[in-house]
A = this chain, B = another copy of it.
Amino acid sequence: MMIPGSDKVDELIAHMAPGALAALENISVTRTFAKGSFLLRQDETARKSYHILDGIARRYYLDGDREITTAFFFADDLALAFDSYILQRPGREFVQCITEVTASVTDYQAFEAAKQKYPDLLRFDLLLTELYAVWLEERLFEFHTCNAEQRYRTLLDKDPHIVLQVPLKYIASYLGISLETLSRIRARI
């Protein structure tokens, strides 16, 4: 989930109205989740967002009995089943901790209320959503223009921490490649 232009986020935070950030912190609690535990399961409605402080999580859904990973979340990322959270209705995605995870947990309703009070939080939310959409566009672009090896090389180049810290089986479906083909790509690189 490394995102281009992330420095814009820091800049926006730095210029927030005094109360805004405090309000966000007031409605958030830091919690720790065991490795393998689920922050959200299929068919549930995402009522919390998880700002990862430490550890790694992944998001996936089932295509038949096959798990398709759609995102990895590292420190500072916002772990979320986006569509379920936005539409506040049950979704298809799971969010699971790959390692033990510590996260700042914020309730949807409470954040909505805070945004009503502090337009800066609204701006903050907008910027994060914009960057997420840009990231999604980039992902679609790669699937349309790059073959399996190029997609793996790009991941290696732009997100080496994923390749270094996440089991290959998760990376394969994230790249839209079978486990076997990804293994062969690695062998010949």
Residues of chain A at the chain B interface (Cβ within 8 Å): 4-5, 61, 63, 68, 70, 82-83, 86-87, 119, 122-123, 125-126, 129-134, 136-141, 143-145, 176
Shortest beta-carbon distance from A74 to chain B in Å: 20
B140 touches A5 (CB 8 A): no
Q: Which residues of B contact A68 (CB under 8 A)?
A: 144-145
Partner of A82, one of B63, B133, B176: B133
Partner of A136, one of B5, B87, B136, B176: B136
A134 touches B63 (CB 8 A): no
Number of copies: 2
Partner of A137, one of B82, B125, B130, B144: B82
Q: Which residues of B contact A136 (CB under 8 A)?
A: 133, 136-137, 140
Q: Which residues of B contact A82 (CB under 8 A)?
A: 133-134, 137
A86 touches B139 (CB 8 A): no
- The chain B residue sitting closest to A122, CB to CB, is B122
A119 to B122, CA, bound (A): 8
- The chain B residue sitting closest to A137, CB to CB, is B83
A86 touches B123 (CB 8 A): no
Shortest beta-carbon distance from A100 to chain B in Å: 27
Shortest beta-carbon distance from A41 to chain B in Å: 17
Known A125-B126, A143-B143, A144-B63: A132·B133 in contact at CB below 8 Å:
yes
A130 to B123, CA, bound (A): 13
Shortest beta-carbon distance from A25 to chain B in Å: 21
